Amino acid sequence: MKAKVYIKHRQEILDPQGKAVLQGLNNLGFKGLTDVRVGKYIEITLDCASVESAHEQVKDMCERLLVNTVIENYTYVIEP
Amino acid sequence: MKRPQMTEPQITDRLIKEHGLKPDEYETILKILGRMPTFTELGIFSVMWSEHCSYKSSRIHLKNFPTEAPWVIQGPGENAGVIDIGDNQAAVFKMESHNHPSFIEPYQGAATGVGGILRDIFTMGARPIASLNSLRFGPLTDPYQKHLFSGVVSGIAGYGNCIGVPTVGGEIYVHPCYAGNILVNAFNLGIADIDRIFYGKATGIGNLIVYVGSKTGKDGIHGVTMASEEFTDDAQQKKPNVQVGDPFTEKLLLEACLEAMKENLIVGIQDMGGAGLTSSSSEMAARANMGIELELSRVPLREANMIPYEIMLSESQERMLIVAEEKNLEPLLSIFKKWDLEAAAIGHVSGDGYLRIKWFDETVAEIPASRISTEAPMYDRPQSRPDYQDELNILDESEIEVLTDNNDVLLKLLSSPNIASKELVWQEYDHMVRTSTVVLPGKGDAAVIRVHGSKKGIAMSVDCNSRYCYLDPYMGGIHTLTESARNVAATGAKPLAVTDCLNFGNPEKPEVMWQFAEALRGISDACRALEIPVISGNVSFYNETKGTAIYPTPTVGVVGIIEDVSQALTMGFKNIGDVVILLGPSTGSLGGSEYLSLLHGIERGLPHPVDLEMEMQLIELMVKLCKNGLIVSSHDLSEGGLAVALAESSITGNIGLNAELKTIAKGVRTDTLLYGESASRIVVSAKPDAVANIESMTKEASVPCHVIGKTVENKMFKITIDGNILMNLPLTTISSAYKESLQRGLNDRV
């Protein structure tokens, strides 16, 4: 099974990296950009008895290590 | 820009309570306004009357600090204090806490703590040249404390290293009382020209209010209210109050502000720290006895749909508020545009003393500015000496076993996280950037920074022994100030002024208020005796979790000047065959010592009393000895007493020692002799031919002076009494205990 985890800064929290990228794109002449948010994408290959237990494990991984839930949000999908 | 739909809650008792306002405080609000507050006004009162912004429990006590001296240019009440350091230059410095945010999100909490104190310094027109910090954690055997520890250290390094201001010193203590409430106190010092110091005053009716820096987002709303509450089990739910710092933007802001100051485009300026736009605008207005009118639709926003309440209370980082004459607006905006920063005129100075907030022309708040800043509520809270205090102060030394394996005791003390080298930590900090650092971290009792364009150096030390303060807050306060001053003097610098960061529990508890008042009385008495005025500072109350307060921790940062920085002294022994001399009283006492706590598990008794006259004489003597080039190393005695101080000088200099303590050993327990702690003591080393001179100068200064050993060629650390060996260890052994213990402790998995 493969878990695909998407992490980004919570909406109300400043994303300095996204801000720097936005500035860079503007400097290159791209027009009409209003916001850039830069996040992380993590792929985890795991051997699990069921999709349910994979969900449980991945959620636990996110809460305990992968995501700083104080400032970040996450979503994930499990692919068989 | 279109006006978003505004849905504001009704003002109910519950909402008032959620804003941390007490019923009588709300009554006062009704009286001041003569009507119900709007939602925005409730938010403004809530943050400005929070303990963090208003100092409502502490102001009455802070008034007793001595704050004046001929060299003080600006005392407490501004963004930072300022002293004259000669040659038309001024040193601007302050210390501030960021305890609560760092407990919730250690990296960003510590990082924005550094960012905040930097802004306090450059808002005065100074270029920041050095950061220090004082950190306190619970036992590092706990995995969660390790997480907090590494997060805080990385956060300080991340912000400080990116903006290019060296982190040159500080202290770290570990004690169970901080497990639920870590302390992160950040100190910064900057240099300004005396005729170019800027103040947070909104003078000149009609002058414009200009917003500069980053955009305003929804981050950190009500951060200061959080810092004015105890933590409960749901501390994690207070998540949205955390802010993310951006040191690269701060660097731009720093350069842009200094450029605008150089071009004389600024009338007044203040950073937007705790309580953001609200505190900066109302405090600048109140200091100048003026009013300020703002139009919030002109504030640069990161998110659409922000309502006035959120805009006024946001604690987004890297923002400043400037007062400028209208004719200077265009050049001002163009400077900030050049540095890729937001800048917008968002209001003007008015003459009626009101903070008036408009949003798309509608008035959403109208409050007399002084009532939410300089004239905020002030309480003389009840104090009472804790019932346990008498019991705590009893220490029957006859019941304490005199440990005889002193090799083992010394190694244990050197391995204590409170004594062991913090190299692991300061290696993460860029302590050399700007190439002015003369005394590096770990090399001396205080950090010393060269002042460019002169021979002068600035010495800085942050200190607090909170165990002493717990056992006797008054004497602990004296110890805190004298140790910090002694550290500065040990480098050869003359201590000139102090900033403080007073960390205590819940001030509504009479026992905590007693600790606070007593500690301040101690610090004040010591400041008066040593002629070191308090010029800035910060109070952090409510450092409690689930009803348990931290030990009283009134951290201070003393700053001094050394006229010729090339003479600055460090703690390591320098040459083989030098004479080692103990200046000051020959013994200390066991009460409150690291030895008693670490080896016997006892934290009781009383800290050794401090003789302030002796302390002053010792400080003056140190400055003289350094100036005359008579000594080559100096190290003050603190935790671990004489044995640890000697070991640190040996380890840092990588030179062996033969110490013979016969002259000071009479009638003293060996453990008191070796590990007892007291103030007013410094170990120095000197060439043999300088000893006669040193002895006559110490006699003249009425400071006791004992030759207690000499440095030797073999790499052994040996202490004897009348030839009987008390301890004898290879340098490599004590060095490894001292330098590697912190790392080993952090690596241990539980």
Q: What is the pLDDT of residues B509-528, one digit of tens each?
A: 999 999 999 999 999 999 99
Q: CA dist B45 to B9, B22, B244, B370, B703, Å?
A: 16, 11, 25, 12, 54
CB B395 within 8 A of CB B471: no
What residues have CB less than 8 Å from B659, skipping those under 6 apart? Answer: B580, B646, B708, B709, B718, B719, B720
Structural domain spans, chain A: 2-79
Sorting pLDDT into bands at 50, 70 and 90, what band is B426? very high
Q: What is the mean pLDDT of residues B138-167?
A: 96
So what's the pLDDT on residue B91?
A: 98
Is it the case that residue B238 has pLDDT exceeding 50?
no
Residues B312-328 as b/e (b if ≥16 CB within 10 A, e otherwise) read bbbbbbbbbbbbbeeeb
Nearest Cα residue in chain A from B101: A70
Is residue A54 helix, strand or coil? helix
| Residues on chain A touching B214 (C-beta within 8 angstroms) | 14
Residue B240 is nearest to which of A12, A19, A20, comparing CB atoms?
A12
| pLDDT (mean) for B604-618 | 97
Residues forming beta bridges with residue B600, ordered by sequence position? none
What per-residue confidence (pLDDT) applies to B274? Answer: 80
A14 CB neighbours in chain B (<8 A) are 214, 217, 219, 243-244, 246, 302, 316-317
Phi-psi region of B209 (alpha: psi -120 to 50; beta: other; left: phi over 0): beta
Measured in angstroms, the CA of A34 and the nearest CA of chain B are apart by 10
Q: Position B490: which residue type?
A: A
The pLDDT of residue B209: 98
The C-alpha of A43 sits at a distance from chain B's nearest C-alpha, in angstroms, of 25
CA–CA distance, B268 with B199 (Å, rounded to integer): 5
Q: Which residues contact B415 (CB under 8 A, 6 or more apart)?
A: B737, B738, B741
- Which amino acid would we find at residue B85? I
Q: Please indicate whether residue B110 or residue B6 has the higher confidence score (pLDDT).
A: B110
Q: pLDDT band for position B418 (50/70/90)? A: very high
Please give the distance of CA B445 from its chain centroid, rounded to a whole number. 16
| CA separation for the pair B358, B295 (Å, rounded) | 5
Cβ pair B168, B131 in contact under 8 A: yes
Q: Could you give the dihedral angle defined by the CA atoms of residues B266, B267, B273 and B278, in that order, rounded to the nearest 10 degrees?
A: -130
Q: Where does B416-561 have alpha helices with state H?
A: 423-426, 466-471, 473-490, 510-530
Percent of chain B with pLDDT over 90: 91
A-contacting residues of B 468-527, CB under 8 Å?
none
**For B218, which residue in chain A has the nearest alpha carbon?**
A12
CA distances from A70 to A5, B226, B708 (A): 17, 15, 55
pLDDT above 80: residue B293? yes
Strand partners, B188: B94, B131
Chain B contact set for A13 (CB, 8 A): 217, 219, 240, 242-244
Per-residue model confidence (pLDDT) at position B228:
59
Q: What's the CATH number for A2-79?
A: 3.30.1280.10
Task: State residue B378's pLDDT score.
Answer: 94
Cβ neighbours of residue B327 closer than 8 Å, sequence gap 6 or more: none
B405–chain A Cβ distance below 8 A for any pair: no
Tens digits of residue pLDDT in B524-576: 999 999 999 999 999 999 999 888 999 999 999 999 999 999 999 999 999 99
Measured CA to CA, the distance from residue B397 to residue B260 in angstroms comes to: 63
Q: What is the structure's pLDDT at B451? A: 95
pLDDT band at B4 (very low <50, low <70, confident <90, very high): confident
Is residue B750's pLDDT more than 60? no
Condensed to tens digits (0 to 9), the pLDDT of residues B332-386 reads 999 999 999 999 999 999 999 999 999 999 999 999 999 998 889 999 999 999 9
- Residues B690-698, mean pLDDT to the nearest whole number: 97
The ipTM estimated for the assembled molecules is 0.86
Residue B235 has pLDDT above 50, yes or no: no
Nearest by Cα to B347 from B326, B364, B316: B326
Pairing of strands B494-503, B534-540: parallel
* B35 to chain A, closest Cα gap in Å: 33
B51-85 in b/e burial notation, b at 16+ Cβ within 10 A?
A: bbbbbbbbbebbeebbbebebbbbbbebbbbbbbb
> Residue B159 pLDDT more than 60?
yes
Question: In whole angstroms, what is the distance from residue B270 CA to residue B186 CA?
Answer: 18
Mean pLDDT over the full length of chain B: 94
Write the DSSP symbol of residue B78. Answer: B
Q: So what's the pLDDT on residue B505?
A: 97
Residue B426 tokens read as 């300061």
> In this model, does residue B474 exceed pLDDT 60?
yes
Predicted local confidence at residue B340, as pLDDT = 94
- Look up tokens 């955009």; give the residue: B215
Give chain A's residues under pLDDT 50.
none
Of chain A, the end-to-end C-alpha distance in Å amounts to 5
Task: Identify the band that residue B222 occupies on the pLDDT scale cut at 50, 70 and 90.
Answer: low
B105, B316, B340 member nearest A14 (Cβ): B316
Q: Residue B43 corresponds to which amino acid?
A: G
What's the average model confidence in pLDDT over B94-120?
A: 95
Amino acid residing at B464: C
First-last CA distance in chain B? 56
Residues B210, B330: Cα–Cα separation, whole Å: 11
Contact indicator for B485, B533 with CB cutoff of 8 Å: no
